[in-house]
Amino acid sequence: MHALSHGTTSTPATIAVPPSLSLPVIEAAFPRRLHPYWPKCQEKTRAWLLEKRLMPADKVEEYADGLCYTDLMAGYYLGASDEVMQAIADYSAWFFVWDDRHDRDIVHGRPAAWRLLRDRLHRALDSPGEHLHHGDPLVAGFADSVLRLYAFLPQTWNLRFARHFHAVIDAYDQEFHNRTEGIVPTVEEYLRLRRLTFAHWIWTDLLEPTAGCELPDAVRKHPAYRRAALMSQEFAAWYNDLCSLPKEIAGDEVHNLGISLITHEGLTLEQAVAEVRHRVEKCIADFIDVEREALRFADDLADGSVRGKELSAAVRACLSNMRNWFSSVYWFHHESGRYMVDSWDDRSTPPYVNNEAAGEK
């Protein structure tokens, strides 16, 4: 199936989606939009990666735009101020670089290096201002992006974001252990872990500075709002698993919903692919159902008060962007060089990773 995509240039490109990964409902019912600041955002994130030494200049020049990290965020956080959009885009680019370092530390058997990084990130999360000039560019870049994110909403939001990201760091540590020891988690264990390694609640938290409003617990934890948020994130995590299952099986990976289904539920590869796809499609259907209930909840918040009007508008903005996440994630997987494994010289080594900075010789 083909569809027009914004891509990373000013000229739309025709993207071919393999039939096994095609989701007609996304292409028909979830139109793709990009934040109008996106071209400038892409340029500034590229400069930020260089300034913070997160990728070497030659790799930034050759790969940064094609990885589409800013496209993914600019297709999600619509309505954000340019400053918020830039902070989120830089943080997202950092997250991908961190994910690559984590992977390289596993592949090259560097548990001590990983533990050191893990502990430094925990500390930087609690006191980013003290880590802006850290010797490890990954720590310094993290501190910079977090400090900027902390500037938009009250301290209560910052503390929640920190709590959620501490859990993400710990989940990455669990994944390091599983991959190092060759442990394939059960389906339920995997689903719990994946919600953390995919940072479900971090991306959901960032909907609030985008809307310019911190949501109180009673709003965030309303069953319809929370389920809509969860379905948008589960879709993203499981669609990623669907797209990456063949290469992860080939690479002896242990973290993929399909691999857990094969290992612990006795499914064949074909059955596992069908099951993951079924779950992906159910996420879409469940989101559409609960979205209506969540919009009614937003209407109910508008009780005639100024605060009620503000909260109602913020919830509507967050729900609209949850919907945007479906199309942004979908097209990202078919545009980003991160998933074009067949074009790499070495399928085990992404060409955009900075091996030397990670300690490889």
96 is catalytic: yes
From the candidates 101, 220, 316, 338, give the one annotated as an active-site residue: 338
CA atoms within 13 A on the CB side of 249: 17
Per-residue HEC secondary structure of 183-199 comes to CCCCHHHHHHHHHHHCC
Q: Which residues contact 347 (CB under 8 A, 6 or more apart)?
A: 247, 250, 251, 341
235 is catalytic: no
Indicate the burial class of 112 (C-beta count within 10 angstroms; 0-12, 13-18, 19 or more): exposed
338 is catalytic: yes
User: What's the rounded Cα separation, in Å, for the pair 283 and 62?
Assistant: 35
198 is catalytic: yes
Q: Which residues contact 13 (CB under 8 A, 6 or more apart)?
A: 4, 5, 7
From the candidates 53, 96, 123, 277, give the one annotated as an active-site residue: 96
Active site residues: 95-96, 198, 338
